[in-house]
Structures are given as structure tokens and as C-alpha cells.
Structure 1
Amino acid sequence: MTIGAVFLLISGNISPTEALNAIDWNVIAYLFGVFAISHALFASGISEKVGNWICAESRSIPQILLFFILFVTVVSAVLTNDAAAAIGTPIAIAIAASLRIAAALPLIALCVSVTVGSMFSPVGNPQNLLIVADGHFKNPVGVFLEWLAVPGLISLAFTLVWFWYCFARTPKGDAPEHVVPDSQTTRRWPALLASGLLCVLVVADSLAHETGWIPDLPLGALSLIAAAPLFAFSSHRLQLVKEVDWHTLIFFVSMFIVTGAVLKSGALQEWLSPWHDQLGEPLFVTSIAFFGSQVFSNVPLVEIYLNLLEDHNTATLMLLSGISTLAGNLFILSAASNVIIVQQSEKHGVTPFQFWQFTRYVLPVTIVSIAACVLWVGFLRTISG
């Protein structure tokens, strides 16, 4: 993505000023704060502590899966899917060790839970952040819960049942050792304070904006405010900055430049001109969001689609959000969180899943979750007129 952005700048397809204006710095600021919080949680041993609690000897497979899926869902909804992927990987490895099975299946369950869990919240994933930044919701938290909580819960319920079945059929044998995080000396309370503060600020800002109590604050500002205790009270500030996921931040900066150049060229608008009047149609949105996410990845797809849409009604935006998110449950490369889990697994010395192995396990969840999302959004669209 960065090579593409540099090429476009050098070739003059987009000027430096236009490139800077194309970057959504609000999204970049939000991700920076969230990545700092997620690393602080990991470094303080939160993942290890939660993993040990979930894998208590008295728990059955359904209980382990239930607590694991619920924890990952909450973290994904509050701290974005990418952060949940990093925090949840050592827990998935701990589950594999506890059940004496290969790590691949718990890691795939983590991928699915991270993706589905990010549906519930306007800050659950980067494409949701782009849709919220589009500025058409007075109460983003309420809107996402109203339109996507039901298909999200259906998807999580099916995920629980499906992976319970898969776990029960998996032969026991050699399992990975649970790798303890490198640093256990970081104080825990700043990370917990920052996480709680972020959750409170996002919800309070959404409610206050709807009632008009205070001016709306950008999500990026809320994230930086929430992360402030980490830098104020942490004894590892430089390490915290170093461990922020700079690769992902650079990807997003470059992605904004590339999509800005694409939109400036008018080529995409010309290509889609025969279907211009259908861009808001449910079937068209579903098809483009799902299949386009496999080709372009869901985040740049949503960024481009938002710029092409004329009618930004709630039903269309929620369908775009839900389908582009769930599209991540098809291939490993369909969502950045999947790749992060692969990278984190290898970092812990564990062999993750294979390409087609991943698709084979997630395909049933994908079918059920896409159907639930389309039907529920279609139902709400009908009754809302």
C-alpha cells in the first residue's frame, strides 16, 4: 500500500497537499490510542490472567468456548478487532494447551469471534470508524446496537455451537505450550483505567451528542484522552510507543492516499456509472461489500464506497458495515485481524492454521452470519419505511 501511495505521489496523480487532505487523521488518532491501550493490556499480563481463568480445570469445552467468545467480543467491540486479535492470541494458545489439541482450531475460533464481535460497536473495526466519521449518526452506539446487535448475537450463538462441535471432533494429542508474555512487570492499573475510560468516553459522547448536551468530540480525541494515563503513569513509555502497531497505521495513511488518488482520477466513478442508481440497493450493497472486500480488503472498499454513495441513509450504511465486516470470515487475507493472529501465533512459536483449513472452518459461520445480517437489516428497513 505504501509503495502504491509513493508511486502516485511521484507520478503526480495526487499532490502532497491533496494527499494530506485525503488522510482521515481522526481514524489514525483513534487507532494509535487503541493500539497503545491493547499493548499495555498485553504487557501487563492481562491476557495471561484471563487465559488461566478461562482454562480452569473445572470448565467444560462449552464453558471455555463461551467465556472465550464473550471476552473476545467485548474487547473487539471496545478496542477494535485488531487489538482483540493481539490480546486474544495467547488466550487461544492457552485453550489449545488446556484441551491438548492443535492450536489451529482455537485460533480460527478467535478470528471468527474477533470479526463478529466488532459488528456491535461504532469503534469495533476501522471500516465502522470510517462510516461513523462520515457524520450521519447522532447516536452511533445506539444505531449500531439497533441494526447489528441481533445478527451479531445470532452469529455468535452459531459460532459457539459450530466450534463446540468442531472441538469435540478434534483428536487430542500434542498441544502447544502456552507462552507467557515477555514482560510481567508493567503496572496493570493504568491499562485497565485507560480501557475503562475509553469505553465510558465513547458511550458518553454518543449519548451527549444525541441530546445536545455538549459538542461532539472526534473519536480520535477520545482515544488519545483515554490513552493519556498510560503515558502519564507508565514506567515503559518509550517501549509503549515502540510497540504500537505502526505497520497498520502506515497502511491506513497510505490507503487514504491511494483511495484519494483513485477518487480524484474519476476512473472508478466512470466504471460504476451504469450502476450509479443502484449503489444504495440492498442486493448491490451486499454483493459489492462482500466480494469487493475479498479483492480490495474491506477498509479501502468502504472508504471508496462512502465517497460514491449519494444517499447515506442508515439502512444502507449499516448493511455496508455489517457485510464488509463479516466478509472477513472467508479467507485469511479478507481481514487484517486474521493476519495479525497469524503473525502473533508465529511470534509465540506456534504454527497457526493453513489457508484452506481456515476457509473450511469459517464458511458455515460466514453463510449464517451474512444471511442473518441481510434479513435483519432488510426487516428494519421495511418497518422504518
Structure 2
Amino acid sequence: MKLASIHKVLLGSVAFGTFWMLAVFPAVPFLPIGRTAGSLLGAMLMIIFHVISPAQAYDSIDLPILGLLFGTMVVSIYLERANMFMHLGRLLSWKSRGGKDLLCRVCLVSAFASALFTNDTTCIVLTEFVLKLARQHNLPAKPFLLALASSANIGSSATPIGNPQNLVIAVESKISFLKFFFHIAPAMLIGVVVNIVIILCMFWKDLSGKSKEDRIEEGVVEDEDVISHKFSPARMSHMSPPPEELTAMHGAPDMQWCLTEEELILKVSVYVVAIGMLVALLMGLDMSWTAITAALALMVIDFRDAGPCLDKVSYTLLIFFCGMFITVDGFNRTGIPSAFWNFMEPYARINHTSGVIVLSLVILLLSNLGSNVPTVLLLGGQVASSAAAISPGAETRSWLILAWVSTVAGNFTLLGSAANLIVCEQAHRSQTHGYNLSFWEHIVFGVPSTIIVTAISLPLIKEY
């Protein structure tokens, strides 16, 4: 695509820049409207400036991605109602040998969960839980929040349903679920281990908690409070919700399950449906409709008003993605991304090691300038077309490299991944265990972790 007219390029850049600024700094003094409103503002400016038409804006919204996110969030809500957190709390705390052991468990659990239920959903579900766990052991929240976000991002790379950009890649490339998994799983496993080592090295002295007796004397949260944790939806806002909203989010009495035979049947059904969803995905069925079908099946099996569960879905996150899709498509129509790729393409061919390095650097840069999903939307087709000229195997490898690097690149800065933003917002919003994870606190860890994990694991993604 050639560069558009000068006024379209300038106005499109202004709209995209507005979106980017509010995504990084949602509470800027002159426009403290938050990330969700910021994404809608960017989309609206694209239309007002005639960079994109209203019809094109609607067409740019990727419904399969929104459907997958919605479905997995609903399934996660029902899994929480089936006491998933109680079992998870026991798993993380069982015979724990201190902060270092606990951090390793958080990394492994979040990586595994993200591969199955997306990194965004994992971070939505686990952030406040991890805050409680850290406080229970009298440990600082920062290493655990960084461990959760970074491991969730790395773990999500292993499957097409692990994150939104992987879903885009799976749909566009038509790579099957199993093929995608077997190609990226080795890099993911090595990446998780390397990331754990980096976190332990950076926070070794901080990961030593006090004895249980000392924690009780200081009023630190106890086991029962951790395992009784309730799911609360992500709010893509820099403001904390009012107390009455917190009460609703953490569950009113009518949301609790009674200890009856009917409850046991329902709980078993929840796990059976969740496993069935994974089996269907492995069979190659449509990922979005599989997740939505599983969500609706759980609502029917529950046999009660689904409103309270649906209220917990993070609609602000879904709206954020809608605005982002429109903004990115508008920016793509300015021709700037295409011009950039045309300049870099001769140096980024994956049949040479230097080309793979250049391509990875380009993906890393763009993923942190405009997030990883927009990067895949902007570059995916062009990168694949360039690789297809080499061989069909090279085309498949280019998609997998794009999936791996764009996912790991999410750990570079807070803006690199929506999962990072979710952890940041959820932690800041918590009324009882809140922690403000700043942009700079994250980048001190994110830069070395991203570079080292990418460099060590990238050679494992080969052409088969």
C-alpha cells in the first residue's frame, strides 16, 4: 500500500498517537479518561478525519477475537464458581518452601493457564489472588505481579487460543492447533524457565518471608482468605471502583454455591465442559465459536439467571479492543506501516540468521509502540507474503516467529501487552491489597527479560 495523501497521513498519525498516549498514560492531567475511552477516541478521530469510513470501521472489528475473549472469560467465571481458586490456592501453598518456591509456582501456573485460557483471562482472574498470596507470606507484591504478567505472556505463546494475536495468526495462516503447539511449545518451556531465573536473580533478597506466627501477629491475610478469593472483572480504567461495585464484584450471597448434591453435579459439569472445549479446539473446530458454545452450555447447565455471571465479563476490555481494531486499521490505511515494511523487507528475510534478527527487532519495536495485536494486524500478511516467496515452510515459520516474538515482546514495557495493562489496573484497583506497578518499575525488569528470553528461545522455532 502506497502512502496516502499528506493530510490523511498527518491526521491518521494524530489519531493513532492519541490512542497510544492514552494507552500508556491513561491519567494524563489534560485528558484523564482512561484506556478504554482513549481507544474509542482514537477510533472516532480516524472517522472524523476521514482516514477510515464508518463502514470500514465496523468491518475492521475482529469478531472472532472478541468472541474468543468473551467465551474464555465466561468459562473462567464458571470455573471460579466451581472452586478453581480453592484448588489453585492449595496447589500454590501446599508445602511451600518460601518466597522463591512460591514465585516459581506462580510462574508455572500462570504460564500453563494462559496457554489454555488466554493470557488476558489468566491475568484478570489471578492478579488479586496473587496479591493476597504475597501478603499472606509477607512478601513484596512487585516480583509476583511481574512474574504473573511475564509468565502469562510467555505461556500464552504455545497455543492459538493463548492470546489474541495468536488467534489472528491461526486464522490468517490456517495453522492447526496441534501444529502450532508442537512448533512453539519447546521455545515456550525454555522461555518460562529462563524468565524464572531472571526474576529470582533480580529479587533474590526480597523473596524471604516471615514465619507463620509473625504473619498472624501482624494481621497478614491467612489461608482461608486466599482460597476463598472471588473472581473480579478487569476494568481498563485508571480509577478504582466505588465500594458498592467492589461488593458486587466479589460476590453477593446469592452468587455462592450451596453444598448440595446438585452443586456437585454442576461443578463436575463445569470441568467436563471446559475439558470438552479444549478437546474441540484440538480437533480443529472454530476457536471462537467453540469458546462461545462452551460458555452458553455452562449457562444452560447452571439453569438459573446468567446475569450475575455475565456482569463479571470485562466488557470494558472488549470495548478497548474494538477501538483498537478501528484505530489500527485507520493507521494502516495511511500507508505508513507498509512503507516501513517495504524499507525493512530486504533486510528481514528469514532464510538468513541476520534476517531473523532484523525481523525480530522490528516486531519487538512495533509491539511496544502500538501493542502486539496491532503489530500482527499491521505486519502479519506482509511478513507471510515475503516468506512465501522463499518456500511454504518459510511462510509457516514466519507466522510462528511473528507469534513468538510479538508475544514475548509484550514483556518489554507495560504497553507491550494487554495482559500487562490488566495486571497493572487490577493491582492498582484492589482496595485491600493494592499496589501501583509503574511503567518504569516494569521496564527495569521487562527489557532484560524480553531480550534474553527471545534470544535464547528463538532458534528453537525452525522450519519443519
TM-score by length of 1: 0.86
Which residue of 2 is the match for residue 356 of structure 1?
440
Which residue of 1 is the match for residue 283 of structure 2?
204
Which residue of 2 is the match for residue 374 of structure 1?
458
Contact 1:333 / 1:339 at 8 angstroms: preserved in 2? Answer: yes
Q: 2:370 and 2:197 mapped to 1: Cα distance?
A: 31
| Mapping of residues 308-323 of structure 1, within 5 Å | 308-309=382-383, 310-311=385-386, 313-323=395-405
Following superposition, the deviation at residue 271 of structure 1 comes to: 4.3
Q: 1:347 and 1:175 mapped to 2: Cα distance?
A: 21
- Equivalent residue of 1:327, what SS? helix
Deviation string, structure 1 residues 68-105 (Cα, Å, up to 9, x no partner) = 32221221001100011122223422431342112222
Deviation string, structure 1 residues 243-272 (Cα, Å, up to 9, x no partner) = 211122112222222232233333432344
Instruction: Between 122-131 and 155-164, report the one with greater CA deviation.
Output: 155-164
Which residue of 2 is the match for residue 336 of structure 1?
418
> Does 2:182 match 1:145?
yes
Contact 2:74 / 2:295 at 8 angstroms: preserved in 1? Answer: yes
Select the residue among 256, 265, 268 that pairs with 1:185.
256
Code of the residue aligned with 2:282 in structure 1: it is V
Q: 1:198 and 1:266 mapped to 2: Cα distance?
A: 40
Which residue of 2 is the match for residue 213 of structure 1?
none
Deviation string, structure 1 residues 31-85 (Cα, Å, up to 9, x no partner) = 1101111233335442243123311355454543443322212210011000111
Q: 1:285 and 1:175 mapped to 2: Cα distance?
A: 51
Q: 2:81 and 2:414 mapped to 1: Cα distance?
A: 26
Code of the residue aligned with 2:301 in structure 1: it is F
Contact 1:117 / 1:124 at 8 angstroms: preserved in 2? Answer: yes
Structure label with greater radius of gyration: 2
Distance 1:176 1:196, change over 3 A: farther
Identity %: 23
Following superposition, the deviation at residue 168 of structure 1 comes to: 4.2
Following superposition, the deviation at residue 323 of structure 1 comes to: 0.9
Following superposition, the deviation at residue 278 of structure 1 comes to: 4.2
> Does 2:373 match 1:299?
yes
Q: 1:279 and 1:58 mapped to 2: Cα distance?
A: 46
Q: 1:116 and 1:167 mapped to 2: Cα distance?
A: 19
Contact 1:97 / 1:176 at 8 angstroms: preserved in 2? Answer: yes
Distance 1:99 1:167, change over 3 A: farther
Select the residue among 78, 99, 105 that pairs with 2:143.
105
Q: 2:157 and 2:297 mapped to 1: Cα distance?
A: 28
Q: How many residues align?
A: 367
Q: 1:165 and 1:98 mapped to 2: Cα distance?
A: 22
Contact 1:190 / 1:229 at 8 angstroms: preserved in 2? Answer: no
Which residue of 2 is the match for residue 228 of structure 1?
296
Which residue of 1 is the match for residue 30 of structure 2?
none
Code of the residue aligned with 1:261 in structure 2: it is G
Following superposition, the deviation at residue 376 of structure 1 comes to: 2.1
Which residue of 2 is the match for residue 52 of structure 1?
90
Select the residue among 133, 153, 156 that pairs with 2:192.
156
Distance 1:154 1:135, change over 3 A: closer
Select the residue among 152, 171, 176 that pairs with 1:114.
152
Following superposition, the deviation at residue 164 of structure 1 comes to: 4.0
Gaps of 5+ in 1: 206-216
Select the residue among 305, 322, 345 that pairs with 2:427.
345
> Does 2:289 match 1:218?
no
Q: 2:220 and 2:366 mapped to 1: Cα distance?
A: 36
- Equivalent residue of 2:411, what SS? coil
Distance 1:263 1:359, change over 3 A: closer
Which residue of 2 is the match for residue 128 of structure 1?
166
| Mapping of residues 79-94 of structure 1, within 5 Å | 79-94=117-132
Gaps of 5+ in 2: 1-38, 211-217, 231-249, 258-262, 350-354, 389-394
Distance 1:368 1:40, change over 3 A: same
Q: 2:200 and 2:454 mapped to 1: Cα distance?
A: 21
Contact 1:93 / 1:176 at 8 angstroms: preserved in 2? Answer: no
Code of the residue aligned with 1:368 in structure 2: it is I
TM-score by length of 2: 0.72
| Mapping of residues 14-53 of structure 1, within 5 Å | 14-53=52-91
- Equivalent residue of 2:434, what SS? coil
